[in-house]
Each structure stands twice: as structure tokens, then as C-alpha cells.
Chains A and B, each alone.
Chain A
Amino acid sequence: MDIPYTVDPRPDTGLYNGKLGMWLFLASEVMLFGALFSSYVLLRVNALDWPRGADLLNVPLATVNTMILITSSMTMVMSWAALKMNDFGKFRKMLGITIALGTVFLVLKGFEYGDKFSHDHFPSTSTFYAIYFTLTGLHMIHLLAGIIVCAWHAVFGKRFWEKHPEQFTNRIEVTGLYWHFVDLVWLVMFPTLYLT
């Protein structure tokens, strides 16, 4: 039995199943990160003394990381566009660059964490570091999940693409939605933690 609306949009929502599911998942993710950002605001406004992120964290490195993540969003769009134009080779190349950029982000973040740990700055050090490690750690886990999904599509996607090209393109579009969301979360996190 074929599952309906894997390719064509449902008439009531205007979305195919995967896209509707992803939007609902992202809505739940907004609740998760929204609650953490609210916790950050509550902790910050209640604190007698709150350090300025720019004084404690590496702003130039975080700026480079932000630009890397924005670039990865662009290559993600280009990988989807390549599939729309029936060019699987270009899709693989663009998705490969996306994965590489995501990995570079994680490696740079690892260096940043390493630097903090070498200076005895742990989540238990202060409330600032507790919320910093919680927010950035959760974001890193999300990015890692995105990299794994992208790698799966890049390595094992060829056969599915040959059988169901439209459904595979939709899967990449949905993966792209998730990737852009992770990028968006970082774009809020970067000024909140590092610049204010």
C-alpha cells in the first residue's frame, strides 16, 4: 500500500507529509530553545553582576563560526536546487560541502570548549558558563544530528533517488528546513551569549 501525500501536497494543509511533520517538529524545537532563552533572560536580569560575553568568550572565532554556518545554509539550498535540476552529482558535492562546513563549525567549537576547560572554566564555574555550555552544547548536538542525516543522504541516497526522485528531493528539502533552523538558532545565540 502506498502512503499518500509523500510527494504531492495535501489539499487541506498545502504540504506533503514530511514537510508538515518537520514544521511541527520545528515548532516543538522553538518551545525547547525558547524555554532555555527565557531561562537565560531570567538568570541574567536576576543576577547582581553578569559578565559581558565579549569579555569572556572568543568573539572573532564565534564570528568565523557564524559565517561558516551561514555558508553551509547556502550550500544546503544549492544541493536541493541541484536535485530539482536532476543533477545528482552536484547535489552530492554541495551536500558534501555542507557536511564539511558543519564539521568545521563543530571542530572550532571544540577548540573553544578546550580553551575554556584549560582555563578551568566549566559549567559549574558560574551561572554564565552553566547557561553558555547548556545552550551551545544543545546546539552542537542538533548540528551533529543534521550532519549525520546529511551524510546518510549523501552516501546512501543514490538508490532511493533513482527509484523515487521527487520523494528524495522532498526529503532533502525537509532536511534543509532543519538545517536552516539550526542556523537560525545560532544566529540568535551568537549575539545573546557572545556580544551582549
Chain B
Amino acid sequence: MSTENIQQQVKAHQKIYVALLVLTLVSAGSVMAGVSAGTTIILVLAVAAVQGLLILLNLMHLKEEQRAMKGLMALCAFFIVFLLVTTSIAYRDTIAGTDKLEQPAAQSNHEEGH
């Protein structure tokens, strides 16, 4: 890699650095400005995703790596999504189970009242 290429790469990274700082301020600013909780969650997680991609693709040079490395990282991302989906399913199962358990108890309380 020539000196000129390195300097160009550093300049590109400096732009990404500024973008990361601005995005951080946007996230923190939305909370301090009192934006509603629902909007804040969507906004800050979207900003975090953009920041993560900027670091992964540019600072960690993943976009210049071969397909095998990109595949490895995609597999990791899939793992996290898989965990989140399975935990969500587990949560829904718990709710369903809780409903079944609570119904007889509620009925017996109702009968005792009579």
C-alpha cells in the first residue's frame, strides 16, 4: 500500500470519525431533549446499528476482506438474531403458560367470593 493510499484511507477514516461523533450526539440528544420513549428506542438502536456498520466495514476493513470473513461475521449476526428470536419465543411461551396457571386460581377466588 503506497503512502498516498494510506493518507487517503486516514482521511476517509477521519470523516467516519466525525460521523460517529455526530451520531452519538444525536442519540444522547434525543434522550436529553425528552423525545418519547418509543421513538427513542427505535432511534438510538438504529443509530447504534449504523455506527456498528461504519466501524465494522471501514475501521475494521471488513468490506475489503474476502467472502469467507464476511460470511463468518454474517454467521455471528445470525447467531444474535437467533438468540433474540428464541428468547422472544420463550417469553411468549411463559405468557401462555402463566395464563393457563392463573385462570383456575382466578376461578377459585371467584367461587370463594360467592
Interface residues on B, range: 35 or more
For the complex formed, measure the closest distance between the CB of B75 and the CB atoms of chain A, giving whole angstroms.
7
Q: Report the stretch among A146-154, A155-163, A188-196 that lies at the interface.
A: A188-196
Given contacts A70-B21, A73-B59, contact A38 B83 (CB under 8 A): yes
Determine if A42 and B87 form an interchain contact, defined as CB atoms under 8 angstroms apart. yes
* CB under 8 Å from chain A, chain B span 67-94: 68-69, 72-73, 75-76, 79-80, 83-84, 87-88, 90-91, 94
Q: How long is the Cα–Cα vector from A77 to B12 in the complex, in angstroms?
A: 11
Q: Which B residues are CB-close (under 8 A) to A181?
A: 60
Determine if A34 and B17 form an interchain contact, defined as CB atoms under 8 angstroms apart. no
Q: How long is the Cα–Cα vector from A35 to B87 in the complex, in angstroms?
A: 10
Interface of chain A: mostly helix, strand, loop or mixed = helix
Determine if A63 and B37 form an interchain contact, defined as CB atoms under 8 angstroms apart. no
Q: How long is the Cα–Cα vector from A59 to B88 in the complex, in angstroms?
A: 28
Smallest CB gap from A66: residue in B: B24
A144 at the interface (CB under 8 A from B): no
Determine if A195 and B44 form an interchain contact, defined as CB atoms under 8 angstroms apart. yes
Determine if B80 and A38 form an interchain contact, defined as CB atoms under 8 angstroms apart. yes
Q: Which B residues are CB-close (under 8 A) to A191?
A: 27, 44-45, 47-48
Please tell me which one of the listed residues A45, A192, A194 contacts residue B91 in the complex, with CB atoms under 8 A apart: A45
Determine if B1 and A84 form an interchain contact, defined as CB atoms under 8 angstroms apart. yes
Please tell me which one of the listed residues A23, A59, A60, A195 contacts residue B72 in the complex, with CB atoms under 8 A apart: A23
26 pairs of residues in contact across A and B, judged by CB atoms under 8 Å:
A13-B69, A14-B65, A27-B73, A31-B79, A34-B79, A35-B83, A38-B80, A38-B84, A41-B88, A42-B90, A52-B37, A59-B31, A71-B17, A73-B17, A77-B10, A77-B13, A81-B7, A81-B9, A81-B10, A84-B1, A180-B59, A184-B51, A184-B55, A187-B51, A187-B52, A195-B31
Q: Which residues of B contact A (CB under 8 A)?
A: 1, 3, 6-7, 9-10, 13-14, 17, 20-21, 24-25, 27-28, 30-32, 37, 40-41, 44-45, 47-48, 51-52, 55-56, 59-60, 65-66, 68-69, 72-73, 75-76, 79-80, 83-84, 87-88, 90-91, 94
Q: A30-B80, A46-B91, A60-B32 given; name 11 further pairs at CB < 8 Å.
A: A13-B66, A23-B73, A30-B79, A38-B80, A42-B90, A45-B87, A78-B10, A85-B6, A187-B52, A191-B47, A196-B41
